[in-house]
């Protein structure tokens, strides 16, 4: 069992599931990963950018704990055909 750790998990149950089934799936994580919740100030902040056509983007982010070896990056792209 994990001890003295903090964790934040977000999930999405997609498909032919009832609300109760989705809650049961979430409970699996809660029961098996009994950790403290990660404080709000250490959780990621969601941002949405709309880039103009042909734009390039480099994003540098300062980390809170420079000695922390664990990290995560989530990147999503939504591509839409310009009909304008």
pLDDT in tens, 26-75: 899 888 887 888 888 888 777 777 888 888 877 777 777 778 777 666 77
Three-state secondary-structure class, residue 40 = helix
Map out the domains of the chain as residue ranges: 6-42
Compute φ and ψ for 30, nearest 5 degrees. Answer: -60, -40
User: What string of DSSP letters covers 15-38?
Assistant: SS--HHHHHHHHHHHHHH---EEP
Closest to 11 (Cα-Cα) out of 26, 28, 32? 26
Threshold 0.85, pTM exceeds: no
């Amino acid at each position: 069992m994990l001890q003295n750790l903090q964790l934040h998990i977000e999930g999405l149950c997609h498909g032919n599931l009832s609300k109760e089934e989705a809650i049961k799936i979430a409970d699996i994580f809660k029961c098996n990963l009994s950790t403290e919740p990660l404080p709000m100030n250490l959780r990621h902040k969601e941002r949405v950018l709309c880039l103009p056509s042909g734009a390039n983007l480099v994003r540098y982010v300062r980390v809170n704990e420079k000695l922390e070896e664990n990290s995560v990056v989530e990147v999503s792209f939504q591509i839409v055909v310009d009909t304008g």
